[in-house]
Structure 1
Amino acid sequence: MADLPRESLLPEPARLLAEEREGDNAGAMSVSELSGALKRSVEDAFGHVRVRGEVSGFKRHASGHCYLTLKDDRACMDGVIWKGQAGAMRFRPEDGVEVIATGRLTTYPGRSKYQIVIDRMELAGAGALMALLDQRRRALAAEGLFDADRKRALPFLPRCIGVVTSPTGAVIRDILHRLADRCPSHVLVWPVPVQGEGAADKIAAAVRGFAAMPEGERPDLLIVARGGGSIEDLWAFNEEAVVRAVAASPIPTISAVGHETDTTLCDFAADHRAPTPTAAAERAVPVRADLLQQVRELGLRSGRCANRYRERGAEKLEAVARRLPPLERLLEPQRQRLDDAAERLPRGLGSRLAHARGDLAQAAGALRPALLRQRVARAEDRLAAVRFDRRLVERPHADATRRLAELSRLLAGLDPMAPLARGYVKVERRGGGLVADAAAARAAGALTLHFADGQVDARVEKPAAPAKVKPEQPTLL
């Protein structure tokens, strides 16, 4: 560089137009070309990576793809989970959970950013799993899904019991065997996988399926059961879908997941938690033998109570009967009264007959024929005294005739056709309507003249000029 001229070491002055110079082998690249080259370089160098970080900003798009950010205390990285891989994940990522993501790095030219395309995601140890479980428990508890006032009493003797569990495990056999020992019941089993991919959705669908059955076919009690296992094996019963389905079920539910020390979120949402599936069967139904024994004891107690009541009634009746007098003594006064009445009856009838004969004799004197003939004669005399006076009828008739004649004359005077017989004429327009003065007749033109013996049509001619009348000369007296 010491031999180069001083001018070649100076910066090249800025130019207005870009020109290709001699010896320049770095041609200008487009933005798309440079972004594509960068994308290929990153994918070739980081085709398979595993990243540990905390999930932040997780969201699921309507298309089914998931977007999130992985971060630690010094850096962050965008991530995407395509729809196919998102459906195969064993758990639903949530903000604040530490995970290990496996995938490949790539770039997104549209925003000049790099991101990791995640193929598989796992929790970063049991601590992260427990942290996710606690976080989900607190979130669901804040919604009131675990409140004690939501718990319902279990039916005493369910007619039908629904069981959501695996059909091939020992759980269903233990439940059926325990139910048969205690109290045989009708059982409906909805077979579901209890762990693995898609188990949570199928368990939730089974709980909702029992709830959607018709009222007469729906079970009276529901048992969600699974055998023991690790927290990873029981994780399906910690999923939000299962917890919400159990909490919303209209059927009283017993959760029997795992052993006595195992606890899932499904246990908090159910109406009752059983430590084992066998305990759930014991809690579901009472012991039939105990019920029969109780019924027998109640029958014996009822019989003893009835016998005791009857015995006490007999004792009271006997005590009262001892205080009552004999029956003959009670009837003696009544018999004596009957004998007295029988003796007085003939005398009473004879006396009553004598009084009736006296009343008849007294009335017979007033019913003699001579008295009746006298009353008839007096009535005939009064009738003969009555005479008919024609003036009583003729005078009102004459007054009514006179008033009728006066009204007839008044009616004849008001008849509009009567003046026609004396030479008057009624004038009407040809189309109808009375003409009362000369002006109306001139205006009508065509008239109809009504006489007493008929009518005549007439037309009004133009009137002649009135003659001039010479005024009279005053006469001097």
Structure 2
Amino acid sequence: MTQAGDGRANAPEWSVSELSSALKRTVEDAFGHVRVRGEISGYRGPHSSGHAYFSLKDAGARMDAVVWKGVFNRLRVRPEEGLEVVAIGRLTTYPGKSSYQIVIESLEFAGAGAIMAMLEERKRRLAAEGLFAPARKVELPFLPRVIGVVTSPTGAVIRDILHRLADRFPRHVLVWPVRVQGETCGAEVAEAIRGFNALPAGGAIPRPDVLVVARGGGSLEDLLGFSDEEVVRAAAESAIPLISAVGHETDVTLIDFAADVRAPTPTAAAEMVVPVRSDLIATVEGLGARLRAAPVRLLERRRADMRALVRLLPRAEDLLAIPRQRFDQVADRLPRALKANAGAHRLRLTRASARLSPEALRGRLDRARDRLNAREARFAAAGQVQRRDWRRQREKIATDMQRARRTLARQMDDRARHLAGLAQLLKALSYQGVLDRGFVLVRDETGAAVRRAAALAPGARVELQFADGRRPVLALDGAGDVPPSASGEVAARDQPQGPRPAARSARRRKPVNEGPTLFDL
């Protein structure tokens, strides 16, 4: 027992922080620089602090990874979920979780397969946003005045494009110099596309009518900048028609899907931009010659058609032969027809003259006079009947008027008697008749009738209504004393009344009747 206790006492004692620091130094000394291959997992973008946290995993293990803010902005390959990479950095521990992690200093693609997988995933995501939709694409102008080229100013691509444009149709070319390879390639190409679109129309720098993004051939890693997400979005947003001419015909980048037209090579892009000037001149001259010859050929064809139609038309003699024959026949029948017509009219005149003899006219006048006399007699008889009817109607109306006047007079008398009865009833029921018999109506300051003596406080102002007028007075207490402030006013107001104050005092000393009285209005 003593030996076991002594062994425990001789063992070194560590604190948690000391042990964690010792482990951290051991791991960092042993794995100060490592290259780790794995698949990025759990990446959700940079943290609000600017650092990036994710994991590297393979089929059998998982390791935490961190990229500090300053290193993240310099990474040539940006982390993406599911991307297989080679991470270069150092191992360290995180005492807060008792775990180890790799602090990444740079990232590399883990072979061409990883790049292709990343590009396929990016292509699928951008296509889902509609950036590759054919409806977004526009047609190229037939003959642009200004051509904008986004490429390296020192490479062979720009010389090939300028040489091909000079051979086909010289145009004004604006070159926006960019790096076509490296970490900043994507950002510079996107900035160049947006910069050309930002040029104002009619400004000091002419705005291009078409853009060409060009680069020569290269490996998959060399062309990776033209598959950058910013480049694809800038190409899709471009209001200027854009041609993608990156790499050779077998090379495919994501800008090819977002551009309006994809050219297999930069030289082919120059051929797409402008037509051949000599061919265009020859075409215009040929069209001009056809335009000049067309009216002549049309006139000749119309003249030939007219000759053919003229040969088909009949002669004037043939057209007039039948009408002329009909005219001769009608001319032969005309004298006989005139004679027959004159005879018929003479016969009608003879018959009419026989009906217009004086005897016939006198007979018609006598018959008309008889009919007129008969109508006058009928009208006279009808007038007499009508006058009799009018007299009967007037007599009836006069009788009805007299009856109505008598009825109205009776009704007026009945209404007057009824109204007089109501007036007598109103006078009998009115309190004014009660006042005429010697009673008085008492009102307070508000004009309301006072029905109880208890409702009046000593010294209250009241108004007494008599049959012939009203008088204001002051109410006294039960002993009959007059308040000093009001004694003069009561005496002055009641002075013309003579002995009335004594009578009212006598009446005031009578017992009060609590039952209903005629003063209840």
Q: If the length of structure 1 is used for normalisation, what is the TM-score?
A: 0.64
- Following superposition, the deviation at residue 258 of structure 1 comes to 2.4
Q: CA RMSD in A?
A: 5.4
Q: Which amino acid aligns with 1:99?
A: V
- 8 Å Cα contact 2:226/2:254 also seen in 1: yes
More helix by share: 2
What is the CA–CA distance in structure 2 between the aligned matches of 1:280 and 1:421, rounded to whole Å? 120
Match of 1:445 among 426, 429, 452: 429
Alignment-derived partner of residue 68 in structure 2: 82
Q: CA deviation at 1:75?
A: 6.0
The answer on 1:59 being equivalent to 2:14 is no
Q: 1:320 to 1:42 in 2, by over 3 A?
A: same
Change (3 A) 1:271 1:300: same
Query: Residues 347-380 of structure 1, C-alpha deviation per residue, up to 9 Å, x if partnerless?
Result: 8667766765665565456556776666555544
Q: Does 1:290 align with 2:279?
A: yes
Query: Is the contact between residue 242 and residue 266 of structure 1 (CA under 8 Å) also seen in structure 2?
Result: yes
Provide, for residues 303-325 of structure 1, a one-character-per-residue CA deviation record: whole Å limited to 9, x for no partner: 88887777677666656655666
- Alpha carbons of structure 1 residues 397 and 310: separation in structure 2 relative to 1, 3 Å: closer
Matches within 5 A, 1:195-206: 195-204=181-190, 206=192
Higher mean displacement: 188-197 or 132-141: 188-197
Query: Within 2, Cα distance between the matches of 1:111 and 1:392?
Result: 135
CA change 1:370–1:238 in 2 (3 A) is: same
Tell me by how many angstroms 1:183 deviates: 4.1
Q: Secondary structure at the match of 2:106?
A: strand
Partner residue, 1:404: 397
Q: 2:108 aligns with which of 118, 123, 129?
A: 123
Among 238, 253, 256, the alignment partner of 2:227 is 238
Contact in 2 for aligned 1:54/1:70 (Cα 8 Å): yes
CA distance in 2, matches of 1:226, 1:91: 20
Say if 1:417 and 1:321 are closer, same or farther in 2 by CA, change over 3 A. Answer: closer
| Inter-partner Cα distance in structure 2 for 1:403 and 1:34 | 141
Q: Is the 8 A contact 1:164 1:203 kept in 2?
A: no
**Aligned-partner Cα distance in 1 for 2:322–2:173:** 78
1:17 matched residue in structure 2:
none
Q: Distance in 2 between matches of 1:443 and 1:28?
A: 125
- 1:163-202 to structure 2, matched below 5 A, reads 163=148, 165-166=150-151, 168-169=153-154, 170-183=156-169, 192-202=178-188
Give, in angstroms, the shift of residue 209 of structure 1.
6.9
Secondary structure of the equivalent of 1:59? coil
Q: 2:86 aligns with which of 96, 99, 107?
A: 99
Residues 201, 321 of structure 1: CA spacing in aligned structure 2 closer, same or farther, 3 A cutoff? same
Contact 1:55–1:93 (CA<8 Å) still a contact in 2? no
Is 1:138 paired with 2:120?
A: yes
Distance change (3 Å), C-alpha of 1:206 and 1:392: farther
Cα deviations across residues 381-406 of structure 1 (Å, max 9, x unaligned)? 54445343564134313432343345
User: What is the identity, as a one-letter code, of the residue corresponding to 2:36?
Assistant: R
Task: Pick from 250, 255, 270 the counterpart of residue 266 of structure 1.
Answer: 255
Residue correspondence of structure 1 range 419-438 to structure 2 within 5 A: 420=413, 425-427=418-420, 429=422
Q: TM-score, normalised by structure 2?
A: 0.60
Contact 2:215 2:247 in 1 (8 A): yes
Q: What displacement does 1:99 show?
A: 1.5
Once the 2 structures are TM-superposed, how far is the Cα of residue 280 of structure 1 from its aligned partner?
A: 1.3
Q: What is the CA deviation profile of residues 104-131 of structure 1, one whole-angstrom value per residue up to 9, with x for unaligned ones?
A: 555544334443433x31426xxx2412
CA gap 1:151/1:254 in 2 versus in 1, 3 angstroms: farther
After superposition, what is the alpha-carbon deviation per residue over 1:99-158, rounded to whole angstroms, capped at 9, x for unaligned?
A: 2423x555544334443433x31426xxx24122211233245558499x9568984753
| Secondary structure, counterpart of 1:60 in structure 2 | coil
Q: Relative to structure 1, is the Cα distance of residues 132 and 40 closer, same or farther in structure 2, using a 3 angstrom cutoff?
A: closer
Structure 2 counterpart of 1:257: 246
Q: How much identity, in percent, do the aligned residues show?
A: 40
Structure 1 residues 238, 324: closer, same or farther in 2, change over 3 A?
A: closer
Specify whether residues 324 and 240 from structure 1 end up closer, same or farther in structure 2 by C-alpha distance, changes over 3 A only: closer
State the partner residue of 1:473.
Answer: none
Change in Cα spacing, 1:271 to 1:398, as seen in structure 2 (3 Å) is: closer
2:151/2:213 contact within 8 Å kept: no
Equivalent AA in structure 2 for residue 283 of structure 1 = M
For this pair of structures, how many residues does the alignment match?
Answer: 419
The 1-side partners of 2:178 and 2:171 are apart by: 21
Residue ranges of structure 2 left out of the alignment (5+ in a row): 435-521
| C-alpha contact (below 8 Å) 2:150/2:211 kept by paired residues | no
| Deviation sequence 1:191-236 (CA, Å, 0-9, x none) | 5443333331343455567789999999775532123444443220
Amino acid at match of 2:151: S
1:315-351 alpha-carbon deviations (Å, 9 max, x no partner): 6665665566654454455556556667777886677
Partner of 1:226: 215
Cα distance 1:214–1:345, how it changes in 2: closer, same or farther (>3 A)? farther
Q: Which moved more, 1:346-355 or 1:218-227?
A: 346-355
For residues 314 and 416 of structure 2, the distance between their equivalents in structure 1, rounded to whole angstroms, comes to 127
